[in-house]
Amino acid sequence: MGRKLDLEEKIVTAAEKLFAKRGFHATGMRQIARTAGVSIGAIYHYFKGKDDILLAIVRREIGYRRRFLESLRREGLSVPEQIRRIVEMHFARLRESQNTVRLLHREWRSPSARLWQRLPSLYEEIADYLADLIDEGIAAGDIVPCHSIVAAYSIIGMVEAVTQRALEGDEKAAELVRHGAEELTRLLSRWLTKREGG
């Protein structure tokens, strides 16, 4: 069983690297096989095609983020602190798993990304989680009254805008990766917790 998982992981990791660098449509199965150091037959033993490999990558990332959110929920932190931790986690993923983040950004915006019709969107799930969190914060008096779904998508939009530029790989991108989480959480805290007349 361990060998099967190792081989699958090898294929998924090779494909992720190629998809992130070259794009999903520009990457062939032979390139994936060559990069993974396996035969094409081995790939087809585990996956029906590139779509299935891409789904495996996305499922892995969704699983990681779901586990993070579940763990965060159990910690009993204040709503502003939970939002801070979510933003920090996103930027940590950007540093640690740039191929995954780059791939998700590229394929999410691709008009032919059929996988988004077959999987619940990661962004939708996080938006719903944030909206629930904001509603809790409003009820507790920690967050100013607002339309929670609009606020949730606004948070995601801010984070995604910084992430998109941070993926460019130049000096400015490095600066955004270094300071993005801290600055965004500071701005979000001011916006979400500001009191009238304050």
Task: For residue 136, give the CATH number of its domain.
Answer: 1.10.357.10
Cβ neighbours of residue 72 under 8 Å, at least 6 residues apart? 82, 85, 86
Quick one: pLDDT at residue 198? Answer: 42
- Residues 182, 85 within the same domain: yes
pLDDT, tens digit (0-9, with 9 covering 90-100), for 112-122:
555 555 555 66
> Same domain for 28 and 84?
no
Residue 165: domain span: 56-193
Residues 101 and 185 in one domain: yes
Nearest in space to 87 (alpha carbons), one of 174, 190, 160: 160
pLDDT at position 31:
95
Mark whether 42 and 123 lie in a shared domain.
Answer: no
* End-of-domain residue from the set 47, 66, 85: 47
Domain match, 117 and 90 both: yes
- Are 170 and 77 in a shared domain? yes
| 105 shares its domain with 124 | yes
pLDDT at 33: 94
The maximal CA–CA distance of the chain, rounded, in angstroms, is 67
Q: Is the pTM of this model over 0.85?
A: no
pLDDT confidence of residue 20: 84
| Same domain for 102 and 184 | yes
- Element counts in the chain: helices (H) and strands (E): 10, 0
Q: How high is the pLDDT of residue 79?
A: 87
pLDDT of residue 139: 94
- Confidence (pLDDT) at 2: 53
Burial class (CB in 10 A: 0-12, 13-18, 19+), 41: exposed
Is 198 within the bounds of a domain?
no
Question: What's the pLDDT score for residue 44?
Answer: 93
Q: What is the pLDDT of residue 40?
A: 92
Could you tell me if 62 and 27 lie in one domain? no
Q: How many domains does the chain have?
A: 2
Mapping DSSP to helix (H, G, I), strand (E, B) and coil, where does residue 149 land?
Answer: helix
Residues 120 and 43 in one domain: no
Query: What pLDDT sits at residue 47?
Result: 93
- Do 16 and 39 belong to one domain? yes
Q: Are residues 107 and 158 in the same domain?
A: yes
Can you tell me the distance from the alpha carbon of 35 to that of 15, in angstroms, rounded to the nearest whole number? 8
- In CATH, what number is assigned to the domain containing residue 37? 1.10.10.60
pLDDT digit of tens for each residue in the chain (198 aa)? 455 568 888 999 999 999 888 888 889 999 999 999 999 999 999 999 888 898 888 888 888 888 998 898 899 888 889 999 999 999 999 888 888 888 777 666 664 555 555 555 667 888 898 999 999 999 999 999 999 999 999 998 999 899 989 988 899 999 999 999 999 999 999 999 865 444
Q: What is the pLDDT of residue 88?
A: 93
